[in-house]
Amino acid sequence: MEINSLEWREEKSRVIFDCRIFSIRESICRSPEDEARTFTVMDTADWAIVIPLIEGAGGREFVMVRQWRHGSRELSLEFPGGVIEKGEDVFEAARRELREETAYWAEKIRKLGEFRPNPALMSNTVHIFLAEELRHTGAQELDEDEFLEVSFVMPQEVLRGMGKAPFVHALMGSALALYLREYPR
């Protein structure tokens, strides 16, 4: 089978729902066999996730944040991250989210890769960064409705716990895979 025989092309698209944080679009596409089908797509902002590495008493540690998640209605222990503002540089967004959520500034930051959080339903991208040479800058800067607790966790504890509470956020699993490529056990 040729690659081309898997590709669809979009014919038309219209927004059918819009709220503060995302919009829903109906997309009419032609299949490889030239049949028209309608798909539903969510458009929302791109995100940045930062894996912050720090030298702790027992060796290398991640700086993580514990927070309530309103979609799944549970506590989740995660790498810091958040929405990239319109026009904001992705590296700047990563550094900003790290500083706001953990009060650490990264002297050294590099991108490990990017993913589509949900390419079947969503059009956006998440960019994954590794932050090193951290410097404490003072206090967290949280939004009024953000409640975050900073936590230092050993990589092997995160790997052992990944895929069950509190390590339930799938994008943190994706980020961990890229970390394990950089730093195999």
Site for a copy of itself in 4-43 (CB under 8 A): 5-8, 10, 16-17, 19-22, 24, 27, 29, 31-32, 35, 37, 39-42
- 176 CA to centre of own chain: 11
Q: How far is the CB of 60 from a copy of itself (least distance, A)?
A: 17
Phi then psi for residue 4, to 5 deg, are: -55, -30
Spatial separation of the C-alpha atoms in residues 75 and 68, rounded to whole Å: 4
Question: 77 to 106, contacts with a copy of itself by CB under 8 A?
Answer: none
Q: Given candidates 54, 90, 112, 154, which one binds a copy of itself under the rule CB under 8 A?
A: 112
39 or 152: whose CB is closer to a copy of itself? Answer: 39
User: Running DSSP on this structure, what letter comes out for residue 96?
Assistant: H
Q: How far is the CB of 150 from a copy of itself (least distance, A)?
A: 9
DSSP helix/strand/coil, 182:
helix
Q: Which residues, listed in sequence order, are joined to residue 132 by a DSSP beta bridge?
A: 108
Size of the site for a copy of itself (CB under 8 A): 76
Q: How far is the CB of 141 from a copy of itself (least distance, A)?
A: 16
Query: Which residues, at least 6 apart from 141, have a Cβ–Cβ distance to it below 8 Å?
Result: 99, 100, 103
User: Running DSSP on this structure, what letter comes out for residue 138?
Assistant: S
104 or 115: whose CB is closer to a copy of itself? Answer: 115
67 or 102: whose CB is closer to a copy of itself? Answer: 67
Q: Given candidates 118, 136, 137, 142, which one binds a copy of itself under the rule CB under 8 A?
A: 118
- Report angle CA 116, 105, 159 to the nearest 5 degrees: 50
Q: Given candidates 14, 34, 57, 73, which one binds a copy of itself under the rule CB under 8 A?
A: 73
User: Running DSSP on this structure, what letter comes out for residue 7?
Assistant: -
- Applying CB under 8 A, does 159 fall inside the site for a copy of itself? yes
Listed ranges 89-97, 102-110, 134-142, 155-163: which one lies at the site for a copy of itself (CB under 8 A): 155-163
Q: Which two tokens stand for residue 6?
A: 């898997």
- Applying CB under 8 A, does 113 fall inside the site for a copy of itself? yes
Number of Cβ atoms within 10 Å of the Cβ of 95: 20
